[in-house]
Amino acid sequence: MENWKDSRSVFWTLATPGTLWMFLFFLIPLGFLFVMSFGGKAVIDGQVSITEYDFFPPGLENYIRSFEFTYLRIMWKSIWVSALATALCLVTAYPIAFGICFAPAKWKPLLLLLVILPFWINLLIRTYALIAVFRTQGYVNLTLGWLFGLVGIEFEPLVMLNNNFAVIFGLVYVFMPFMVLPLYATIERLDRSSSKPALISAPRNSPRFLKSRCRLPCQASSPVSFSSSSHALVRS
Amino acid sequence: MAATLKPGQGPLDYGNRWWLKLLFGFIFFMLYVPIVTLVAFSFNSDKRGIVWRGFTIDNYAKAWKNDALIEALTNSIVIAIIATIIATVIGAMVAIMLWRFRFPFKGAYEGFMALPIVIPEICMGVALLLFFNESGMMSAVVNTPWPINLSNIIIAHVAFCFPFVAVVVRSRLVGFNRQLEEASKDLGASEWQTFWKVLVPFMMPGLVAGALLAFTLSLDDFVITFFTSGPETVTFPVKVYSLVRRGVSPEINAASTVLIVITIVATVLAMKLQAPEKSGKG
């Protein structure tokens, strides 16, 4: 690595556009948001203005208001929904990542492509596609109705849209592929021979025991780090 | 259980367990059913799109004649292309700078560059809306000729795309042998020639991957676009959102299918472009 002083002109040419862009269109807007968080609506001639703001004197009213029950409840809901979605992502992504690692070599690229492909498809389109699955006349309800009809039981369509179930399912559906890739990378890198001693010395020679005692601790670092990033994604 | 192993099956052959196969199949099924049905039902002749009534391409014709939808789709694609080009150039420059130079407060600078990746989209959207509004940039682009009225959205998209490009390109640069650069300079090449003839060809796979990422991120973005789009500019995700609120229609399916095909073709093309270099290195 060179010292930046050795070729200043190259350094500045490379550094300027990105830094400038970040300052102008990221840092300044965020700073603006921060400053405004201490302000309030301006009062002109005794009337509260809709368009004008007043920053002086800076006050903490907005912050105090944000601790009101309404906002706290929404924040809390965001947190538990994303935590649950992250946990479910991990539960569904793990078998997929595991399965790809132990799949025949010629199948691996195709399977990975199948996991990545939904990532390339517009998020809104994927979410929109879920409506057709979960609405009262959606595929799930139609299938269940058909099954119930076979047995001869009256079927009341389930409400699966516009509720917490739909939100959590949607989040898992959309973010699960993000979870598979890092998990796959970690499991793939894992030295298979490290699980062989466990297999030999394990009192019970069962794969399940092996998996829990040897494989999971090795991988723990990956899901934890990834859960947190997927968590951040979910919250955004 | 070891006792249940079939002959010829190793204890680590998890791929052959029936329960893993079943789970695998089920999760992939869940992943693809909505997308496949979305595409299939774009050919459905039923207006409400619930029951299959027969094959038709009327929905595509209707979507094609729907000016608002086509406008939104072109806007999205134009924004994505311009934002991708700018973001790839800036991102690559930042990546080269971070990889090549040692400078004071480098750690802080790196953290600063990664901020748009971790910050919630909604915060960035609101902040940019306020900024564009207060700086007069929002009202400046209203009533300007077509591609210029998209400039605010493009600026916002570049701002959240180029840090991703920088990350991707930088991870590619880590594998670069600096002796190649030194050799090139020893043999009389200038800084500029070394850059174009040595560094850029090496970076190419990273650049393509980064550009592809930026393109999808831009095409995909709803939240930031929703806040930064002016009164007269609409992108495809924003349009779909407003249409879905009024009800599901097969037209959206048709337009979505077109967009899916575009993204898949772009991905496959980009992968094909990358492929010869990889095989050349063996």
For B27-52, write each residue's pLDDT tens digit: 888 888 888 888 888 888 877 666 77
> Are A77 and A147 members of one domain?
yes
Q: Which of A34, A65, A96 is the last residue of a domain?
A: A65
Query: Which residues of chain B, if any, have pLDDT below 70?
Result: 1-16, 48-50, 274-282
In this structure, are residues B261 and A118 in contact, taking their beta carbons and an 8 Å threshold? no
> Are A115 and A48 members of one domain?
no
- Supply angle C-alpha A71, A76, A79, rounded to 5: 130
User: Under an 8 A CB cutoff, do B24 and A99 touch?
Assistant: yes
Tell me, what's the pLDDT at A18? Answer: 93
> Are A108 and A6 members of one domain?
no
> Are A123 and A226 members of one domain?
yes
- Supply angle C-alpha B252, B256, B262, rounded to 5: 155
Three-state SS string over A206-236 comes to: CHHHHHHHHHHHHHCHHHHHHHHHHHHHHHC
Q: Which of A42, A65, A88 is the last residue of a domain?
A: A65
> Are A81 and A34 members of one domain?
no
A9-38 pLDDT, tens digit per residue, is 889 999 999 999 999 999 999 998 888 888
Distance in angstroms (rounded) separating the CA atoms of residues B161 and B167? 10
Backbone phi, then psi, for A152, in 5-degree steps? 90, 30
Tell me, what's the pLDDT at B279? Answer: 41
Q: Which of A19, A48, A65 is the last residue of a domain?
A: A65
> Are A96 and A4 members of one domain?
no
Where are the alpha helices (H) located in chain A, listed in sequence order?
8-22, 28-36, 61-65, 69-101, 108-120, 123-134, 139-151, 164-189, 196-201, 207-210, 216-219, 221-235
Query: What is the nearest CA distance from A153 to chain B, expressed in angstroms?
Result: 22
> Are A14 and A129 members of one domain?
no
Tell me, what's the pLDDT at B275? Answer: 60
In this structure, are residues B103 and B202 in contact, taking their beta carbons and an 8 Å threshold? no
Q: What is the pTM of this model?
A: 0.80
Q: What residue of B is the nearest CA neighbor of A115?
A: B28
> Are A51 and A116 members of one domain?
no
Query: What is the nearest CA distance from B215 to chain A, expressed in angstroms?
Result: 10
What is the extent of the structural domain holding A40?
A: 1-65
What ipTM was assigned to the predicted interfaces of this complex? Answer: 0.81
> Are A37 and A132 members of one domain?
no
Tell me, what's the pLDDT at B278? Answer: 45
Distance in angstroms (rounded) separating the CA atoms of residues B120 and B49? 35
> How far is residue A105 from each of residues A60, A199, B6, measured CA to CA in Å?
60, 23, 21
Tell me, what's the pLDDT at A27? Answer: 93
Q: Which one of B115, B219, B240 has the shortest CB-CB distance to A128?
A: B240
The token pair that represents A174 in the structure block: 């959309």
> Are A73 and A185 members of one domain?
yes
Q: Into how many domains does chain A fold?
A: 2
Residues of B (23-82) whose Cβ lies below 8 Å from A: 23-24, 27-28, 30-35, 37-38, 41, 49-50
CATH classification of the domain holding A187: 1.10.3720.10
In this structure, are residues B188 and B204 in contact, taking their beta carbons and an 8 Å threshold? no
CB burial of residue B68 (10 Å; 0-12, 13-18, 19+) = exposed
Query: What is the nearest CA distance from B94 to chain A, expressed in angstroms?
Result: 6
Residue B173's CB: how many other CB atoms inside 10 A?
A: 18
Mutation choice for B interface testing from A125, A130, A184, A205 by most B CBs within 10 A: A125
Backbone phi, then psi, for A41, in 5-degree steps? -70, 135
Distance in angstroms (rounded) separating the CA atoms of residues B36 and B56? 17
Residues of B (89-148) whose Cβ lies below 8 Å from A: 89-91, 93-94, 96-97, 100-103, 112-113, 115-116, 118-124, 126-128, 130-131, 134
Query: Which residues of chain A, if any, have pLDDT below 70?
Result: 50-51, 56, 191-236
Distance in angstroms (rounded) separating the CA atoms of residues A210 and B207? 41
Please give the single-letter amino acid code of residue B198.
V
> Are A150 and A75 members of one domain?
yes
Distance in angstroms (rounded) separating the CA atoms of residues B93 and B95? 5
| DSSP code, position A54 | E
User: Under an 8 A CB cutoff, do B103 and A4 touch?
Assistant: yes
Beta strand pairing call for B101-102 and A2-3: parallel
Q: For residue B114, how far is the Cα from the chain centroid? A: 17
> Are A78 and A111 members of one domain?
yes
Mutation choice for B interface testing from A28, A121, A168, A230 by most B CBs within 10 A: A121
Tell me, what's the pLDDT at A219? Answer: 45
Contacts with B44 (C-beta within 8 Å, 6 or more apart), sequence order: B52, B53, B54, B55, B56, B59, B250, B253
